[in-house]
Chain A
């Protein structure tokens, strides 16, 4: 069974640009969640989707958005990039998202210069 796949693995962007990250969950998993990981703040929740519906959103500015498609694949978008957005962005999938274990991708390393 293929694991969670995130693309691209690395991205370098300039302040003010926007970026789209992609996540393909494990087959059969309908919940996809996104986390930001930084040395200073650790792992922080961005949002969670189930069957194309956002069920929860973390405490991030509106520049951070996401969506889920009918095949459960998900994308997150960050507009007007700031230096502080440099981080590892992790996607995780689970069957239902309600207390079920998360399966993580390798992450996308975003560097904003």
Chain B
């Protein structure tokens, strides 16, 4: 079955500390994976996609097919990174979503 797992509901780190939001997936095929973010009082928006292999707002995510993971990382957290983060898998014109991780950056 196709599934996306985000094991942490809540992650709290201090400003300037590294951040890693975990995402594991289950998919029989070549996955198309995304990270979406929802800042307070804003709409859900794309943060990055694995196929573009770019860094957005200092975040990167590498697809590890052996570990079926697509963890989101940032070396130095900033207060404005506080938000809800969702990992999603594209499959047959739909996104399959993880439960989301609420990231809180403490000053």
Contact = CB atoms under 8 A, between A and B. Distances in A.
Interface of A: 3-4, 31, 33, 35, 42-45, 48, 50, 55-56, 58, 90, 92, 97-99, 101-107
Interface string B36-52: 10000001111001010
Most B C-beta atoms less than 10 A away, residue of A92, A104, A105: A104
B63 to A, nearest CB: 14
Interface string B12-48: 0000000000000000000010101000000111100
Contacts, number: 50
Nearest to A47: B94
6 contacts: A42-B98, A43-B100, A90-B44, A99-B51, A101-B46, A103-B46
A104 B46 CA distance: 9
Interface in B63-88: 86, 88
Contacts of A55: 92-93
A105 B45 CA distance: 9
Secondary structure type dominating chain A contacts: strand
User: What are the 6 closest A-B residue pairs judged by CB atoms, nearest first?
Assistant: A43-B97, A45-B94, A48-B93, A104-B44, A56-B93, A101-B46
A42 B90 CA distance: 16
Given A101-B49, A102-B46, A105-B43, A33 B90 contact: no
A58 B94 contact: yes
Contact of A45 (B34, B44, B49, B96): B96
| Residue among B43, B96, B97 with max Cβ neighbours from chain A (10 Å) | B43
Contacts of A44: 97
B94 A42 contact: no
Contacts of B100: 42-43
